Amino acid sequence: MYHILIIDDEKAIRRALREILEFENYEVSEATDGKDALDKISQQVFDLIFCDIKMPKMDGLEFLDKCKDKTSAPIIMISGHGTIETAVESLKNGAVDYIEKPLDLNKILSVVKQQVQKQAENIPQPKPVKRIKPTLSQGSTQIIGSSPALKQMLAMIDKVAPTEAKVLITGENGTGKELVAKMLYEKSLRSKNPFIELNCAAIPNDLIESELFGHEKGSFTSAIAKQKGKFQLADTGTLFLDEIGDMSLNTQSKVLQAIQEKKILPVGSEKEIQVDVRILSATNKNLREEIDAGRFREDLYHRINVIEIKVPALKERREDIPLLIDYFLSIIAKDVKTKQLKIEKPAVKFLQDYDYTGNIRQLRNIVERLSILCDDVITLQNVKDYL
């Protein structure tokens, strides 16, 4: 069995890599630093090694230097603290690749498969090239891309997530605001507690209070049983209020009170319930304009908007479109259990220059349509015909 060694002082990284690799039937061992790894490779043979750069006792670059005469396994460096210079140095010292954190687990699997194939065919390693494409949080939520606009947003997420600050996520339809909310949750101190989501635009006004605060049996016609609301379900965890700009003024008032007092009153009940939730909100509306128009409470706006994270539109990150296309082709092929289609460069360029009103959601739908209607290779003409 193909045996992979993961060297990283972060337990969460080791666990994430182990789970995805073992799911693909690879044998996996772990080491917490370079010194521990040297002991491991002196005792057993590995086919591939993933090694973090910044670690206590012995860092990745020192390990890379000391293991040269101890293993012939290809070494792929990973780091969340590296620079271009660090990447170049590690590649010059014998690493076959360099991948920056947060890790793209799909890219990890792709790299492993490439190494397996090369070793099986006994093909010499090509001259390494640096690959620095941050695409994934340490949780399971994927945000694909490496554009400056996306990097700025990811940096803000990293800074804000571990705090208790309430976050307002803004951006156009289809930009992935819900993914930002899930990433904030996964990187937070509440990540092992509930994540509860409510789309405020999808719930009728006469039912939204019951959805938020719960209700007692018989409190209204269809209340055939007692029910907990989203606030109570999210207790000790995170409550994500999507499309909060569509909430009625009356409900806004009660949400404001719940946030201020950390208490809720279920519909039909006389007993308040203490709740401890972190509030994340999202909207595609300009809430300042909604306040001026009298459709949104200014006091609630200031409560939910301690930190604002704006999700860039696709037109602000066009350099990410080729990565997104490749990712969508990959997951669509996996979903339908078929071979991944290839796409010609002129077709990619056309999609990169296209003006999207529905952002990433629209691009995903286009790629799925092309995957269904095209054979083997997606051409420029295919894109023009089926767009």
Residue 89's pLDDT is what?
72
Asked whether 78 and 5 are in contact (CB, 8 A), the reply is no
Residue 242's pLDDT is what?
96
3-class SS letters over 224-251: CCCECCHHHHCCCCEEEEECHHHCCHHH
Residue 88's pLDDT is what?
67
For residue 168 the two structure tokens come to: 């307002």
Domain 314-386 matching CATH 1.10.8.60: the answer reads yes
The arrangement of strands across the sheet holding 195-199 comes to: 195-199, 238-242, 278-283, 167-170, 307-310
Query: Does pTM surpass 0.85?
Result: no
Residue 115's pLDDT is what?
83
Exposed/middle/buried for residue 271 (C-beta within 10 Å: 0-12, 13-18, 19+): exposed
Tell me which of 3.30.70.120, 3.30.1330.30, 3.40.50.300, 3.40.1640.10 is the CATH number of domain 164-310. 3.40.50.300
**Pick from 84, 85, 20, 17: nearest CA to 51:** 17
In single-letter form, the type of residue at position 8 comes to: D
From CA 385, how far away is CA 387, in angstroms rounded?
6
Domains of the chain, residue spans: 3-121, 164-310, 314-386
From CA 352, how far away is CA 365, in angstroms rounded?
15
What class has domain 3-121?
alpha beta
Each residue's pLDDT expressed in tens, for the chain with a length of 387 residues: 789 999 998 898 888 899 889 888 899 999 999 999 999 998 888 999 999 988 888 888 889 888 888 888 899 888 776 555 666 677 777 888 778 777 777 778 888 888 887 777 654 444 443 333 333 334 568 899 999 999 999 999 999 999 999 999 999 999 999 999 999 999 999 999 999 999 998 888 888 999 999 998 888 777 778 889 999 999 999 999 999 999 999 999 999 999 999 999 999 998 999 999 999 999 999 999 999 999 999 999 999 999 999 999 999 999 999 999 999 999 998 888 888 999 999 999 999 999 999 999 999 999 999 999 998 899 999 999 998
**Pick from 118, 108, 114, 110: nearest CA to 78:** 108
From CA 341, how far away is CA 276, in angstroms rounded?
47
Residue 133's pLDDT is what?
37
Asked whether 374 and 341 are in contact (CB, 8 A), the reply is yes
Residue 372 CB partners (closer than 8 Å, separation 6+): none
Task: List the beta strands (DSSP E) in the chain.
Answer: 3-7, 27-31, 48-52, 75-79, 97-100, 167-170, 195-199, 238-242, 263-264, 273-274, 278-283, 307-310, 342-343, 377-378
Residue 261 CB partners (closer than 8 Å, separation 6+): none
From CA 57, how far away is CA 227, in angstroms rounded?
53
Domains 164-310 and 314-386 in one fold = no
In single-letter form, the type of residue at position 387 comes to: L
